[in-house]
Amino acid sequence: MATVQIRTKTIRNGSSSKVRLDFPTERQLGLLIPAWTDGKNHQVCFVDEKSLARAARAGEYASMIASADLVLPKTLSLAKKATEMGSSEPFELREVPIPPSQEDYLSLFPDDDEEFSPHSESVCYNPLHTLNILMSILEQRNGSVFLLGGAVATLQKTELNLRSTFPRLRLVGRSIGNYLPQQEAPLMTALQKTAPDFIIVGSLVKGGELWIPRHMNFTRSGIFVFDDSILEVLAGSN
């Protein structure tokens, strides 16, 4: 079975805890779309220094970060911290299998897996740029997206912009972030029925990023991504 080999670095986060940071290339980000057609849910987390400190404390947030499929540093300072740790704690390779039915997809991407040393240039992951890569690949595969978060006007602008930028990407549902308790059951039903490939979670959602592990079991397969301002950015408001 073919695999995507993602470079990772485990950094010490406080006196005892450790956090894994992932450093995929753009090619590998694209390959994760076919790799994650395995009938399971997957979560991509963006972290900065503040969230890293939060992950040092035992609890729900730390568990979410530990179990996430990708943990991406979104600030250059955090990426440099990992890179500059040096050869004493070198980068490792984590293998993500690609289902046999998707192996032909490998040929669509040029090989950019050049050698990566502990002294290579630091790389951070802008949420907008990362999501654009993932949605571009999803569009090629006739994929679907569900939007959750923000206010009504933000969602409307985001939907218009996505339809313009990714015309073949199917938008199968949306919900404001501050939905009422009685609206949760219909929202979960919508997620189950539409079975989106990609679920983007943004501002005003109760629990923030923790909404994802608390509700992930309501879909059979999908990629969940959270960023507090991503919907506003996609709407052109930021």
CA distances from 76 to 83, 139, 209, 225 (A): 10, 29, 21, 20
Closest CA to 221 of 38, 96, 33, 69: 38
Identity (one letter) of the amino acid at 206?
K
Q: So what's the pLDDT on residue 80?
A: 86
pLDDT, tens digit (0-9, with 9 covering 90-100), for 178-196: 999 999 999 999 999 999 9
* pLDDT at residue 1 tops 90: no
Phi, psi of 164 (to 5 degrees): -75, -40
Q: Which has the closest alpha carbon to 136: 193, 198, 74, 191?
A: 198
Decide: helix, strand or coil at residue 181.
helix
Helix, strand, or coil here: 188? helix
More confident residue, 4 or 177: 177
**Residues 137/30, Cβ–Cβ less than 8 Å:** yes
What span, in angstroms and rounded, lies between the C-alpha atoms of 230 and 167?
A: 19
pLDDT tens profile 78-93 = 988 887 765 456 788 8
* Percentage of the chain lying above the pLDDT 90 cut: 61
Q: What is the pLDDT of residues 27-55, one digit of tens each?
A: 889 889 888 988 899 999 999 999 988 98
Model pLDDT, residue 71: 96
Instruction: Output the pLDDT for position 168.
Output: 96
pLDDT at 119 over 50: no
pLDDT value for 144:
96
**Cα 8 from Cα 24, distance rounded (Å):** 8
Which of 17-21, 114-118, 169-173, 210-214 is the least confident region? 114-118
C-alpha–C-alpha distance, residues 192 and 190, integer Å: 5
Q: pLDDT value at position 88?
A: 59
Mean per-residue pLDDT for 106-129?
Answer: 67
How far is Cα 236 from Cα 211, in angstroms, rounded to an integer?
A: 24
Q: What is the mean pLDDT of residues 154-160?
A: 96
pLDDT in tens, 219-236: 878 999 999 999 999 999
Residue 116's identity, in one-letter code, is F
Q: Are 138 and 171 in contact (CB under 8 A)?
A: no
pTM for this predicted structure: 0.91
Q: Are strands 198-201 and 70-73 parallel, antiparallel or unpaired?
A: unpaired
pLDDT at 117 over 80: no
